[in-house]
Amino acid sequence: MSKDIRESVSALMDGEASELELRRLLQADSEEVSVTWSRFHAQRSALHGEPKFSGMDVSGAVRAALAGEEPLQRGMSLDWRKPLGGFAIAASVAALVVFGLGGTGQQQAEQLAASGSGPETSGRVYLSAPAAVTTGTVNASTASGQAPRFQSIADEQARQRFERLLQQHSERAAVSSGQGMVTYVRLASHGAK
């Protein structure tokens, strides 16, 4: 396991990854990155005394790796939820993140994103255990503002689509989720008629 990768993943989790580190991760062997990523998450949950996922099927390989490895000091004292909590909210809908899907003339940030969601990780990824989480998770975290370097734009069209589909989804969820009133409140908070 390369030290660079480890440090970059750690920085990404802290929301402190530099452009360079992001590039390094996106270019690195995705298997190595994902194993590191999920292992750090497991470590953090444990260190923060969160017994939440004790029932999860953490693969034997990860456990073995955990046992043989010295503790990672960097960033452990930080509250890693902080960068997650910092995401900005527009009037009624939260952050919009656009990932470019390649093609020329795209902005650099989009190309960066594209190399993370490109052919090697797009399509179906069958996850059997958290240890198998792919770089898809890296993208996932960007939407909650963890890596603000991805271009965040207020796209009116996308926002409208979101509100329209959210309404249709919520109407369905209201009669299916077993938490009817909660879904109605979600609907109402979007100004649905």
Partner 1 sequence: MLKQVLIRTLSLSMLSLAAGGVWADDAWRWLERMSHAHREMSYQGVVTYQIDDRLKSYQFTHRVDGGREFESLQPLDSDADGLVRQGHRVDCVHPAERLLRNQTAANGTGDMAQYYELSLGEPGRVAGRDVVTLDIMPRDAFRLSHHIALDVMTAIPLKTETRDQSGKVLERFQFMMFEVGAAEDAAVADSAREIHHGELLPAEAEAQLLGEMAWQPAWIPDGFTLAQFKDPGSEALSYTDGISMFSVFMESGGGPAVSPSASSMRSGATVSYSYPIPDSNLVTTVIGEVPLLTAEQVAKSVAVKR
Of residues 64-123, those binding partner 1 (CB under 8 A): 66-67, 69-71, 80-81, 84-85, 87, 89, 92-101, 103, 106, 110, 117, 122-123
**What is the secondary structure of 126-141 as a DSSP string?**
--SSGGG--THHHHHH
Q: Single out the residue of 28, 78, 109, 192 in contact with partner 1 (rule: CB under 8 A).
A: 192
User: Which listed residue (20, 104, 124, 156) binds partner 1 by CB under 8 A?
Assistant: 124
Q: Is 133 in the site for partner 1 (CB under 8 A)?
A: yes
Q: Which of 50, 61, 74, 120 binds partner 1 (CB under 8 A)?
A: 50
Task: Compare residues 20 and 120 and give the one whose CB is closer to partner 1.
Answer: 120
- The yes or no reply on residue 175 touching partner 1 (CB under 8 A) is yes
β-strand partners of 25? none
Can residue 55 be called a binding residue for partner 1 (CB under 8 A)?
A: yes
Residues 138-168 as b/e (b if ≥16 CB within 10 A, e otherwise) read: bbebbbbbbbbebbbeeeeeeeeebeeebbe
- Please report how close the Cβ of residue 45 comes to partner 1 at its closest, in angstroms: 8
Q: How far is the CB of 130 from partner 1 (least distance, A)?
A: 5
CA distances from 177 to 140, 173, 192 (A): 24, 5, 19
Number of residues that bind partner 1 (CB under 8 A): 88
Instruction: Verify binding: residue 159, partner 1, rule CB under 8 A.
Output: yes
156 makes contact with partner 1 (CB under 8 A): no
Distance separating alpha carbons of residues 181 and 187, to the nearest angstrom = 10
Please check whether residue 100 is in contact with residue 113, taking contact to mean a CB–CB distance below 8 angstroms. Answer: yes
Q: Does 165 bind partner 1 (CB under 8 A)?
A: yes
8-state DSSP, 39: H
Q: Is 190 among the residues that bind partner 1 (CB under 8 A)?
A: yes
Angle between helices 30-47 and 136-143 (to 10 degrees): 50
Phi, psi of 83 (to 5 degrees): -60, -30
Quick one: DSSP state of residue 55?
T
- Is there binding between residue 12 and partner 1 (CB under 8 A)? no
Stretch in the footprint of partner 1 (CB under 8 A) among 1-9, 15-23, 24-32, 178-186:
178-186
The answer to whether 173 and 180 are in contact (CB under 8 A) is: no
